[in-house]
Amino acid sequence: MRKKEIVLNLGKVPSLNSFYAGSHWTKRKRAKDATLQEIKEQLVPNTGAPYNSFRLVAYVRYRYDLDNSIIAVKFTSDALKALGYIIDDSPKYFRECFLVWSQQIPKDTAKIIISLTDEHPE
């Protein structure tokens, strides 16, 4: 069975509140595109078959509420799908997600640990 672990280091992403709090769609698109570019610079497109299952642990140290940090997870799963690492980011394939506030990483950053496997979803 194939298994792969990837670690990404992200800068500050928009908070969930600021992302959807009446911002014009062009501002949201620019913010998303900037984060996706940061992720894609750390990943190369997957040249093999997509993995059947994945899990994410996001260690974050942003100044906003922990639940507002979920955008880092969303943008990461979107990039994994776009780069062919995963089949889809639906619950059938996206098995677990943990969001952890951590003083062990620099301020205004996130450390995303991605675990990919060929384990077949239930």
Give 4-31 pLDDT, tens digit per residue.
999 999 998 888 777 767 677 787 788 7
C-alpha 9/C-alpha 80 separation (Å) is 15
Give 18-67 pLDDT, tens digit per residue.
776 767 778 778 878 888 888 888 888 888 899 999 999 999 999 988 99
pTM of the predicted structure, to 2 decimals: 0.87
Domain 3-117, what fold? 60s Ribosomal Protein L30; Chain: A; (3.30.1330)
